[in-house]
Each structure stands twice: as C-alpha cells, then as structure tokens.
C-alpha cells in the first residue's frame, strides 16, 4: 500500500532539512524501482505503487519549491541563471511525470522513462543541494521560518491532492492526485 505525506507536528524545521528529507525520500523510491528492474522482477504492482509515489512526491516538492523557495532565493541572491536552470529542470520533470501518469508497468518505455526521470532528478538534486542550499545558507535568511512556510504549504497540498477528485476535477488531465490502478487486461 503506498503512503505519502508526513506526520504533522508543530516542531520547527529548517527549510533545507525539509527539502533534503524530500530528496532522500524520492531517491530511495527511485533506488527501489531500479533494483526491481536490475533483478528483472516483473513486480508490476510494486512498480506502479513506486511510480505513483514518485510522481506524487515530485509534484508536491516542486510546487513548494517553485511557489516559495525559489522566489525567496531569487530575491536574496544575484544569480537568476541558477534559478532559471532549476525551473527548467522542474519543467522537464513535469513533462515526464505527466506522461508517466497515464502509463502502466509493462507499457513501452515505461521503465526507461522512470530511469531517465531518476537520472535527471539525481542531477537536479545534486545541483540544488550544492549550489542553491549553499546560497540560501549564505544569504542569512531565517531558515526555520522558511521551513514553517514550506511545511504548511506541503500540508495543504497533501490535503488537497489526497482527497478524492470531484467529478469535474477527475476530467482534468493531470492534477497531481492519486489515480487508481488500471484493471488487468486493458
Ligand atoms: Fe527541485
């Protein structure tokens, strides 16, 4: 059974620790997916759950970064190029995610697309943690306050995306919400 979200608590959390925890979570999901592929295990059910979790986690994570973290950094550091590149990398991930959202294990290129998404995210995460996190620390911003804002928005998105879609929402192509597995033989 796939799970997501995090326990809600009132404890302060450093913004960079929160984002790093997201990175570690998604990297471990990709690692598990790759180990299924390496061992030639056709555990389609587990692959489906993993990719569902990966798409969900990346969607929420990139939203809190684009809505809060990147604009704050953009106003504090003099390096638009760095943030532009991060946003372009997110757009690339969104594109792959929107394709994966309508695919299922066993479909053509399914494993390859997950692998490429994992490689692109590994590169993105490395750059973010080395360049953006360093710039954020140097800027002197209150990271606990920023962490609270990120955490609050994440909770909101978890609530929004976890609730079953209304009949109207269900007709939208991709809203980040959970989907139900395709029945066998379709
Ligand atoms: Fe990111």
Residue 167: inside a domain: no
φ and ψ at residue 110, rounded to 5 degrees:
-60, -55
Q: How far is the CA of 120 from the centre of ligand 1 (A)?
A: 11
pLDDT value for 180: 60
Q: How far is the CA of 125 from the centre of ligand 1 (A)?
A: 6
Residue 148: inside a domain: yes
Residue 138: inside a domain: yes
Q: Which tokens hold the place of 26?
A: 């998604």
Residue 46: inside a domain: yes
Q: How far is the CA of 185 from the centre of ligand 1 (A)?
A: 36
pLDDT digits (tens, 9 = 90+) for 91-126: 999 999 999 999 999 999 999 999 999 999 999 999
Structural domain range at position 92: 20-162
Residue 98: inside a domain: yes
CB of 164 closer than 8 Å to CB of 180 = no
pLDDT digits (tens, 9 = 90+) for 42-62: 789 999 999 999 999 999 999
Number of domains present in the structure of the chain = 1
Q: How far is the CA of 90 from the centre of ligand 1 (A)?
A: 6
CB of 56 closer than 8 Å to CB of 176 = yes
Q: How far is the CA of 21 from the centre of ligand 1 (A)?
A: 12
Residue 130: inside a domain: yes
C-alpha distances out from residue 43 to 24, 33, 72, 89, 133, Å: 23, 10, 42, 30, 37
Task: Inform me whether the pLDDT recorded for 12 exceeds 60.
Answer: yes
CA 5-145-25 angle, 5° bins: 30
Residue 124: inside a domain: yes
Q: How far is the CA of 37 from the centre of ligand 1 (A)?
A: 25
pLDDT value for 2: 47
Q: How far is the CA of 130 from the centre of ligand 1 (A)?
A: 12
Residue 39: inside a domain: yes
Q: How far is the CA of 10 from the centre of ligand 1 (A)?
A: 24
Q: How far is the CA of 152 from the centre of ligand 1 (A)?
A: 18
pLDDT digits (tens, 9 = 90+) for 132-175: 999 999 999 999 999 999 999 999 999 888 776 655 555 554 44
* Torsional sign, CA 58, 63, 66, 72: negative
Give the Cα separation of 65 and 90 in Å (integer).
10
Q: How far is the CA of 184 from the centre of ligand 1 (A)?
A: 35
Q: How far from the centroid of its chain's Cα atoms is residue 27's Cα?
A: 10
């Amino acid at each position: 059974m796939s799970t997501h979200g995090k326990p809600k608590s009132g404890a302060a959390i450093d913004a960079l620790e929160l984002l790093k925890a997201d990175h570690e979570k998604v990297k471990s999901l990709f690692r598990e997916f790759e180990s299924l592929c390496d061992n030639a295990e056709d555990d389609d059910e587990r692959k489906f759950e993993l990719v569902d979790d990966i798409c969900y986690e990346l969607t929420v994570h990139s939203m809190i970064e684009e809505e809060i973290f990147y604009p704050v950094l953009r106003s504090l550091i003099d390096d638009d190029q760095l943030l532009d590149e991060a946003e372009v990398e997110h757009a690339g991930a969104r594109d792959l995610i929107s394709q994966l959202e309508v695919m299922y294990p066993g479909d053509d290129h399914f494993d390859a697309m997950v692998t490429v998404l994992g490689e692109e995210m590994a590169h993105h995460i490395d750059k973010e943690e080395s360049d953006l996190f360093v710039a954020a620390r140097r800027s002197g911003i209150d990271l606990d306050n920023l962490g609270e804002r990120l955490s609050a928005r994440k909770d909101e998105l978890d609530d929004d995306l976890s609730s079953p879609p209304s009949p109207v929402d269900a007709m939208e192509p991709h809203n980040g919400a959970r989907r139900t597995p395709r029945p066998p033989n379709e």
